[in-house]
Amino acid sequence: MPRENRKRGKKNKKRPDEEGGYPESQQPVPVPVLEPESTGEPSWIRSAPDQVPEINPEAPFGYVDADVKAYFRTVDGQIRDWQEAQHEDAGLDEDIDPNEQRRLFFVAALTEMGGKEKQLATDPDCSVILERMAYSMDDFVRRVFLDSLVGSYELLVRHRFASHVCQTLFTVAKDTVSRETRGIFPTVPESSEHGELRTLTQLVLDVSEEILPTFSSLIMDPFASHVIRALLLLLSPNLSSSDENAQTALRSKKSAAWKARQGPMKSVFTDEKGKGKEVPLKSTPPEFRELARRFVEILRADLGENEVRALAANKVACPGLQMLLEVEADHGMADEPGSLMDRVTVGIISACRDNPDAELEPSDYLNTLLRDPTSSHLLETIVMRSPEKAFGVLWSTYFKGKLGRLANHPVANFVLAKAMERVTAKQLSEACVELEDSWGKMIRASRTGVLRAVIDRSTVLSASEQNIAEAVYSAFDLVSEEDHNLLVPCVLHLLPLKEYKAAVVASSAPKAQPEHPRKHGQQGASNGGLEQKVQGAILLQALLRLPDPHNQIVLTSLASLSIEERIKIAHNANGSRVYDVLLESPTVPSKSKRQFVMDFIGHYHLLVDNRIGSRVGDRCWSYADTYLKEKIARSLFSHEQFLAGSYYGKFFARNLNLYLLQRRPDEWKTMQADRKRLQDQANKPAPPLTPAAVTTTTSPTLESQPRSAKRKRHTQPEDEIDAVFNATLGKRIKKAALGDAAPIPPPKPEEKRPKKEPRMKDELQDGLGDIRAADAASIPLSKPEEKRPKKEPRTKDELQDVLGAIRAAPKDEKARRKRGRGGR
């Protein structure tokens, strides 16, 4: 048998047709053959079947070519390198524009992008690259990019990857819209091929009109909901979510963590470094405000009462509904029957309009919102933005009489803290009485939000201050006057008195060496639980903002602590913030602030010998007046060597300029007084200036504060004596040792120090005598630009005296530096 006719398997196996055919149940069904209809054409012509092209949901506009994707990966790598190395651009040659090469590179990338915007936006790899490029686009390119996507936004905002591109475009569009509102437009090249390019303001309006018909479904879409929130922030920049927590409002924790792993998202052009710190947009075109109102009206019309309440329990739709409630309140629409807030609050708005004195039955729906981790954020917005009458009904129905349970609930305590920010003086007093037995439980559960809100509200209303002090003492079990002195450490560590004392004893007791070494990161019990908490520091800051007689509970407790304990607090990142508020709060008496600064005299060298403590030392130095600064500086004469050897203390010592104080005290006092005056003027809020006024005001300041000592050294005129010094000593003269009368910044750490040269005791004495003689003659050393009278020829001995003084100036500093290197 030929090989092509052979069959695999057993040779004696019979086929079904030999055994009698297929069973009746498995008889093959004959397929009817459809004869082609006669169309009058030849028989060999067959028409193709009707096929509807299927849209791939992952790539609705097609896949990106592999070569194009590889090119944009290269673009992404280059942009990342530029973003991470922006701080190195300062050392480049000033004659070369660092942005020129980047602009050319960016133009080439944008040219390659032309016509492929939709495919790139829906690609999982290239969508992130487009987000990174959006931050570096100028106004014209942003308009072109948004215009290229018009007509497909309904599909793009529902896409898994393109939705993030749309969100980023709406986020960065606020700067362009702000400039267009002020009448600043980029130059648009004339082109008859592409037609007229719309402004970004008009493009945002057109995009909103495109998604308005499906807005009710988009707000519940898992990918489109965050785009809707970004659009609402652009249309209504006055929302509370447009502050620093805008990313939290737009992104979930998972999404924010993923975005953080993608590296910095900022412009690559060096002239836009401060763009991320601009003031948020507060003025928008009037069309934006009307469009935001239309979003609220469409949701009212499309959804019923139960459907709106269902949005509050939906994890995807709840943040969007929260923003819509704020938009509704901004437009004054919340106090209308049938509003979104009226539907969520189960008719409280309508009941207040019909019968303001009526008592309502508590709703199980709102009680559920109060304790739900997702919906409680929505209830916080309702509590803060509801009308005054509606808030009164909410307080009496859902909060009053239940404060103790709500304050200790893990979720409801946040809603109660927000409600405390709106209570009246009478309601605050009643709340303090009701919570008398609950303060201690809140502290033991580390839930301090309600107590902090009560203190802040008391500060605003100037009411119930005495109740606040009693509440704090009760929360930490401080009964006697002796116990009151331990208020600051107890609050800072967030421990009641007995637990704090037990923790102090446990931390001071000698610890036995553990048999098994502790794993990396397990240091929680190493200090016996004495860890300064953020919540405790915030409580102390709130207490320091109380009016004068009532914030003394913190000041008295702080003054009773030993200087070692106060320095320990200053060396902690949380505790140091308490000292900041103490020096900044207008309610703290100046006498107490001055005493606080003076208490550290004699211990400033220990205070500033720390990364955090050096910042506290700078704050104290900045607050002190000239007389107090002199006392601080003179107390550090004996610790000059210690400060010079301290990694952080040496920067504090440079602000003191101890060398000048020792030799010319009057000139040092004048310099400190001028610095204090300039500092006070800078702290005063200045009115907005016109461009001409800015130029006139800032030019003297720039001249008086040169950028670097090296540049200043070349700009000062040089006389014949300086020429002799430079010829003899070269670059080794330490001019900063002489000081200047004008307030100048201290020398930078990287400034080169003069080399050590052999010197003699007689030369040092001669140099000091020459400097004293210069002081007696009142030689204006700090004003090199003034023309000096012709000097009589000096003798060789006089020149030797001056040279000896200059050589002796950096003696101690160089010796310390060499000893430090040898110690390492």
- Report DSSP letters for 244-284, one per residue: TTHHHHHS-HHHHHHHHTT---S-S-GGGGGGGGSPPP---
Region 795-813: mean pLDDT is: 56
Q: Can you give the pLDDT at residue 2? A: 59
Q: Can you give the pLDDT at residue 782? A: 40
Model pTM above 0.95: no
Q: How far does Cα 206 stand from its chain's mean position?
A: 32
Of the listed ranges 241-250, 407-416, 467-476, 698-707, the least confidently predicted one is 698-707
Angle of CA points 389, 545, 675, to nearest 5° = 130
Q: Can you give the pLDDT at residue 629? A: 93
CB 265 within 8 A of CB 132: yes
By residue count, the chain amounts to 824
Say how far apart CA 503 and CA 509 lie, in whole Å: 10
For the stretch 731-772, pLDDT in tens is 444 443 333 444 444 444 444 444 444 444 444 455 445 545
Angle of CA points 318, 321, 322, to nearest 5° = 85
For the stretch 313-330, pLDDT in tens is 899 999 999 999 999 999
What are the start-end ranges of the H helices in 509-600? 534-544, 552-560, 563-570, 575-584, 590-599
Residue reference for tokens 């000292």: 579
Binned at pLDDT 50, 70 and 90, residue 452 comes out as very high
Q: Can you give the pLDDT at residue 114? A: 87
Residue reference for tokens 């039955």: 361
For the stretch 32-59, pLDDT in tens is 544 555 555 566 666 655 555 566 777 8
Say how far apart CA 212 and CA 219 lie, in whole Å: 11
CB 788 within 8 A of CB 722: no
Q: Can you give the pLDDT at residue 822? A: 43
- What is the average pLDDT score of the chain? 78
Q: Can you give the pLDDT at residue 58? A: 79
Which residues, 6 or more positions from 361, have their beta carbon under 8 angstroms from its beta carbon? none
CB 333 within 8 A of CB 295: no
Q: What count of Cα atoms within 13 Å lies in the side-chain half-sphere of residue 2?
A: 2
Q: What count of Cα atoms within 13 Å lies in the side-chain half-sphere of residue 50?
A: 0
Question: Which string of DSSP letters, residue by residue, matches 397-452?
Answer: IIITT-HHHHHTSTTHHHHHHHHHTT--HHHHHHHHHHTTTTHHHHHHTT--HHHH
Q: Can you give the pLDDT at residue 745? A: 47
Question: Which string of DSSP letters, residue by residue, matches 793-814?
Answer: PPPHHHHHHHHHHHHHTTHHHH
Angle of CA points 577, 579, 580, to nearest 5° = 60
| Structure tokens belonging to residue 264 | 């910095």
Say how far apart CA 380 and CA 417 lie, in whole Å: 9
Say how far apart CA 509 and CA 529 lie, in whole Å: 13
For the stretch 550-569, pLDDT in tens is 999 999 999 999 999 999 99
Which residues, 6 or more positions from 439, have their beta carbon under 8 angstroms from its beta carbon? 451, 471, 472, 474, 475
Residue reference for tokens 């405000």: 289
Which residues, 6 or more positions from 262, have their beta carbon under 8 angstroms from its beta carbon? 128, 132
Q: Can you give the pLDDT at residue 278? A: 45
Binned at pLDDT 50, 70 and 90, residue 262 comes out as confident
Say how far apart CA 454 and CA 438 lie, in whole Å: 13
pLDDT exceeds cutoff 60 at 659: yes
The CA radius of gyration of the chain, in Å to the nearest whole number, is 37
Say how far apart CA 732 and CA 560 lie, in whole Å: 51
Which residues, 6 or more positions from 71, have their beta carbon under 8 angstroms from its beta carbon? 112
| Structure tokens belonging to residue 526 | 């190493």
Question: Which string of DSSP letters, residue by residue, matches 320-389?
Answer: HHHHHHHHHHHTT-TTSTT-HHHHHTTSHHHHHHH-TTPPPPPPHHHHHHHH-TTTHHHHHHHHHHS-HH
Spell out the domain ranges in the chain: 66-86+97-187+194-268, 720-784+791-823
pLDDT exceeds cutoff 70 at 540: yes
Say how far apart CA 200 and CA 181 lie, in whole Å: 10
CB 387 within 8 A of CB 356: no
Q: Which amino acid is at 385?
A: R
DSSP 603: -
- Percentage of the chain lying above the pLDDT 70 cut: 67
In angstroms, the Cα distances linking 276 to 59, 182, 240 are: 33, 20, 19
Residue reference for tokens 């207490």: 543
CB 623 within 8 A of CB 583: yes
Closest by alpha carbon to 622, among 680, 700, 687, 684? 680
Q: Can you give the pLDDT at residue 778? A: 42
For the stretch 674-684, pLDDT in tens is 988 888 887 76
DSSP 785: T
For the stretch 172-231, pLDDT in tens is 998 899 899 988 888 877 765 667 889 999 999 999 999 999 999 999 999 999 999 999
DSSP 160: T
More confident residue, 803 or 784: 803
Binned at pLDDT 50, 70 and 90, residue 699 comes out as very low
Which residues, 6 or more positions from 691, have their beta carbon under 8 angstroms from its beta carbon? none
| Structure tokens belonging to residue 150 | 């018009």
Q: Can you give the pLDDT at residue 276? A: 41
Which residues, 6 or more positions from 746, have their beta carbon under 8 angstroms from its beta carbon? 654, 655, 657
More confident residue, 776 or 162: 162
| Structure tokens belonging to residue 119 | 């495919």
Binned at pLDDT 50, 70 and 90, residue 268 comes out as confident
Q: Which amino acid is at 602?
A: G
| Structure tokens belonging to residue 663 | 């030799």
